[in-house]
Amino acid sequence: MSKHHQVLIIGGGSGGLMTASKLKKERSSVAIAVVEPSDKHIYQPAWTLVGANAYDYDKTIRSEASVMPKGVTWIKDKAVSFSPENNEVTLGSGDKITYDYLVLSPGIQIDLDGIEGLKENMGKNGVCSNYVDPKYTWEVLKNFKGGNALFTQPTTPIKCGGAPQKIMYLAEEHFVKSKVREKTNVIFASPGSVIFGVHPFKEELERIVQKKQIVTKFHYAITKIDGEKKEAHFKLAATGDNQCVVNEDPEIDEKVTGDMHVVIPFDMLHLAPPQSAPDFIKTSPFSNDAGWIDVDVNTLQHKKYKNVFGVGDAAALPTAKTGAALRKQAPVVVGNILHLIDENKLGDKMYKGYSSCPLVTGYGKMLLAEFGYNNVRMSDPVLTRFVDTSKEKKSMWYLKKYGLPYLYWNKMLKGKMMD
């Protein structure tokens, strides 16, 4: 195997493969290698639907070999450390490989140690997560007999920030169908202060939350899960001027101790686990103080190492971490690498923070939040000519269930339909 690659990509997930395909499509002569340890490629966005029994789990997974772009070398190994001064990466096998240009797209790490009791209880005692095992989420929903159905998320950044509430809307509708809704409290406890940060999607979600009679608890940061007692412990996240006064909510059997500590009993708990940049990135010369890949937010070029780029969930970009964002990130990186090869300077394409969250609000309903940096709405002008994407719609559900998976496997992973 060659030890030197013109373009070396770390991670053969969504970002790595979209970048590789787009680059090959733009210029087939560029020699590209992808370092990816897994022999499976997962379409994670469909895991929301798997958790509600609305999508076949097996269809979310394909072999890595089948999605690796033609002409790209797959190095089936993991990157463990970097020596950017020598343009060198050390692999798990101990092999060292070198590059002209490096693209980092290793995704985000799930930190089950980030909440006391999470690791021990994940996958049992009614504690589930679509981020870990969506099939178990469905087991929990299917067997739920009523009581407190608690949905929450951590204080860390997470991929697909809307996923913790999408499964809640689906679960609520399932409880209606399974005739347990009347004896169920559906509770959304979040460290944030609003249901969603972007107008006008926020207002539509607030209307849906009210219609579904979901109990919301804002500024609640989960700290501990007691699986045996089936209790979730929260710290009140707001401090100083924003100090919120919490009155115990007897309907849900909530207990407040002191100013800051709240306990909510649960009969089922769905949560997004804490997440962070992968450890090998945190300890690398590429990370910022918070551990993320320290790139320019518009050019995606590393701030110090000019032949290094970052895309995807691990990049330090102040926007939502989604696969949809990669549709706009990959072309910027590809354009910049080609300009560097040809003219030794960057191209003029800029990433404006585009991200999108298909907010499933029930079986057969969805609204499509698209936005950029500073939470400014960036809805697709063509799509919005035909449909008001800020309102829950059946047509949008078909997009989620059929359209987006098709586009992902057949277009985006092949370097098409990106700009």
Ligand X SMILES: Cc1cc2nc3c(=O)[nH]c(=O)nc-3n(C[C@H](O)[C@H](O)[C@H](O)COP(=O)(O)OP(=O)(O)OC[C@H]3O[C@@H](n4cnc5c(N)ncnc54)[C@H](O)[C@@H]3O)c2cc1C
Between residues 149 and 262, which has the closer beta carbon with respect to ligand X?
149
Region near ligand X per CB under 6 A, out of 144-152, 243-251, 286-294, 318-326: 318-326
Which residue stretch of 186-194, 300-308, 317-325, 374-382 sits at the interface with ligand X (rule: CB under 6 A)?
A: 317-325
Give 115 or 357: the residue with its C-beta nearer to ligand X.
Answer: 357
Any residues with CB less than 8 A from the CB of 207 and at least 6 apart, and which? Answer: none
The contacts of residue 204 (CB under 8 Å, 6+ apart) are 367, 390, 391, 392
Helix 323-343 vs helix 14-26: crossing angle, to nearest 10? 40
Question: Sheet of 255-257: strands edge to edge?
Answer: 220-226, 231-236, 261-265, 255-257
Pair of tokens at residue 71 = 């002409």
Left if phi > 0, otherwise alpha if psi is -120 to 50, otherwise beta: which for 312?
left
Q: What are phi and psi of 157, to 5 degrees?
A: -60, 150
Known catalytic residue: 160?
yes
- The reply to whether 357 belongs to the active site is yes
Q: Give yes or no for a contact between 267 and 291, defined as CB atoms under 8 angstroms apart.
A: no
By CB under 6 A, the residues from 9 to 48 that bind ligand X are 10-16, 35-38, 44-45, 47-48
Which is catalytic among the residues 118, 237, 346, 357? 357
Please, which residue, 33 or 314, has the CB nearer to ligand X? 314
- Of 102-110, 140-148, 182-190, 292-300, the window that binds ligand X (rule: CB under 6 A) is 102-110
**Residue 74, SS3?**
strand
Build a one-symbol-per-residue string for 335-364: x at contacts with ligand X by CB under 6 A, - elsewhere. Answer: -----------------------x------
Q: How many residues bind ligand X (CB under 6 A)?
A: 36
Contacting ligand X within 116-145 (CB under 6 A): 130-131
Residue 5's DSSP bridge partners are 99
Nearer to ligand X, 254 or 313 (CB): 313
Q: Indicate the SS3 state at residue 220.
A: strand
Question: In the bound complex, which residue of the shown chain has the CB atom lying closest to ligand X?
Answer: 13
Cβ-proximal residues to 387 (8 Å cutoff; 6+ apart), any chain: 393, 395, 396
**Cβ proximity of 34 and 9 under 8 Å:** yes
Give the nearest distance from C-beta 335 to ligand X in angstroms: 18
Give the x-and-dash track for 142-161 against ligand X (CB under 6 A).
-----------------xx-
Asked whether position 313 contacts ligand X by CB under 6 A, the answer is: yes
Tokens representing 28?
Answer: 């087939």
Residues numbered 73-92 forming contacts with ligand X, rule: CB under 6 A: 78-79
Beta carbon of residue 102, minimum distance to ligand X (angstroms, whole number): 12
Please report how close the Cβ of residue 48 comes to ligand X at its closest, in angstroms.
5
CB 258 within 8 A of CB 245: no
69 interacts with ligand X by CB under 6 A: no
What residues line the site for ligand X (CB under 6 A)?
A: 10-16, 35-38, 44-45, 47-48, 78-79, 105-107, 130-131, 159-160, 163, 278, 280, 312-314, 321-324, 326, 358
Q: Which residues are catalytic?
A: 160, 357
